[in-house]
Chains A and B, each alone.
Chain A
Amino acid sequence: DVKVTQSSRYLVKRTGEKVFLECVQDMDHENMFWYRQDPGLGLRLIYFSYDVKMKEKGDIPEGYSVSREKKERFSLILESASTNQTSMYLCASSLGPTGQYFGPGTRLTVT
């Protein structure tokens, strides 16, 4: 079975802090994704990567950056956390056109 893990289930950070969210997949998938999910807004794509060191902006990249140095690991970085970045963050991976497999999510609260 595909396993996608995220570094934390719950995280509380202060405004202005730099935040790292890590995602690791164990199935050699080429594609990895970061979403955020907010009530009433559904899932929105922040960034995705289709290969090591490659990245593409999604719908809402502002305030975020990503890093993919190894195939299995995709990191989301909040350079200076703000309260409007309080959300559920979901990582996913896929192999070509197959379905995306999601991690359990990280609920981030920025105070």
Chain B
Amino acid sequence: DAKTTQPPSMDCAEGRAANLPCNHSTISGNEYVYWYRQIHSQGPQYIIHGLKNNETNEMASLIITEDRKSSTLILPHATLRDTAVYYCIVRSIGSNYQLIWGAGTKLIIKP
């Protein structure tokens, strides 16, 4: 069973910041939070991951709450090409690298 909870869908206006929430209230101390997205008919794309601290890369920022029970993926200036299903996944580094995929959030960027 997926260990994360995400809203099934969200809209965002083009050019605005898209903030995608994820609840992972049962996360344990050695589990990382990973974000992926899947654009229609393509393979999933890795976006970012983090443990405790906020992380930023060229694609997005990841904000993790202090208690680590939730996180937010931020796409700072959404474009139409960011329309995709976004998956939030928690995973232990010491595990066999399996990812438990939930249903994700369908993000629609509107012009």
Contacts and interface: CB of A to CB of B under 8 A. Distances in A.
A45 to B, nearest CB: 6
Given A102-B44, A102-B45, A103-B43, A56 B32 contact: no
Contacts, number: 51
A48 B98 CA distance: 9
Interface residues of B, number: 21
Interface hub of A44, A45, A100 (most chain B Cβ within 10 A): A100
Contacts of B34: 99
A48 B75 CA distance: 31
A51 to B, nearest CB: 12
If over half of A's interface residues share one DSSP class (helix, strand or loop), that class is named, otherwise mixed; here it is strand
Contact of B96 (A48, A92, A98): A48
B30 to A, nearest CB: 10
Contact of B98 (A58, A102, A103, A105): A58
A90 B97 contact: no
A50 B46 contact: no
A64 interface: no
Contacts of A97: 32, 93, 97
A60 interface: no
